[in-house]
Amino acid sequence: MAHATTATAGGKKEAAHHFKDMDHEFETCKQGLWLFLLQEVLFFSPLFVGYYVFRGLYPEDWHAASHHLDPKMGAINTVILICSSLSMAQAVHGAQTNNRRKSIIGLILTLIFAGGFLVVKFFEYSHKFELGLLPAGAFTYTGADLSGYPHAKLYYSLYFAMTGLHGIHVIGGMAVIAWILKRTLKGEFDSNYYTPVEMVGLYWHFVDLVWIYLFPILYLLG
């Protein structure tokens, strides 16, 4: 395996053959990840544009429909995700400074916060399902408060599309954090080589950041 990153006899990681050294590899990976996050922004963009287009077309419907979201739940989840960003940053710092314990605790806390976020989301979703506040084609809600607003159901299309896509990113994030945790437990990272930890950290901050935009436009804007 001439191409893969290989460990030498001393156990110290060596850069892959097409890089000059570990720093070169790290910088390249970091740039790659930033480019990935850039395309993620564009990936979410049609939903944000769609949200604002329909908000502009049907402002009253949007106003009425948004009242069914509970800002308290949204706020709790916002706090949870901000805390998870902090614990993730701690985990990365632990890896950079050869503090494996700190790194492990940080990763476990991040996983717990992410799980907590999904639990809250689960309760929110099941409540919407019960009421029939679903994407347009499946919308069955018959309450009087939305009866004069035929396009309220589109609000829920976008609500589920946006939070659903974000939720998939949270689940994906948990998977890669678990993978990093496993490798940290095996002692694969130290101050010489912590590239994957830092990359997953960056990705996780991005996932939080998306929520920071979703929370106000869905829960707070009337």
Contact 200, 180 (CB under 8 A): yes
- Span near another protein by CB under 8 A; candidates 43-51, 73-81, 88-96, 111-119: 43-51
Cα 163 from Cα 180, distance rounded (Å): 25
Task: Indicate whether 54 belongs to the interface with another protein (CB under 8 A).
Answer: yes
Task: Indicate whether 39 belongs to the interface with another protein (CB under 8 A).
Answer: yes
Task: Indicate whether 110 belongs to the interface with another protein (CB under 8 A).
Answer: no
Which of residues 7, 138, 185, 220 is near another protein by CB under 8 A? 138
Cα 153 from Cα 141, distance rounded (Å): 9
Residue 56's SS3 state is helix
Cα–Cα separations (whole angstroms), residue 45 to 11, 23, 214: 44, 33, 12
Cα 150 from Cα 71, distance rounded (Å): 23
The residue (of 2 and 144) whose beta carbon lies closer to another protein is 2
The residue (of 57 and 82) whose beta carbon lies closer to another protein is 57
Q: Which among 14, 20, 11 has a CA at the least distance from the CA of 195?
A: 14
Residue 148's SS3 state is coil
Task: Indicate whether 42 belongs to the interface with another protein (CB under 8 A).
Answer: yes
Task: Indicate whether 6 belongs to the interface with another protein (CB under 8 A).
Answer: yes
Which of residues 80, 91, 154, 200 is near another protein by CB under 8 A? 154
Which of residues 7, 46, 126, 182 is near another protein by CB under 8 A? 46
The residue (of 1 and 144) whose beta carbon lies closer to another protein is 1
Contact 206, 42 (CB under 8 A): no
Number of neighbouring beta carbons within 10 Å of residue 18: 9
Q: Which residues bind another protein (CB under 8 A)?
A: 2-4, 6, 16-19, 24, 27-29, 31-32, 35-36, 38-40, 42-47, 49-50, 53-54, 57-58, 135-138, 150-151, 153-154, 157-158, 160-161, 165
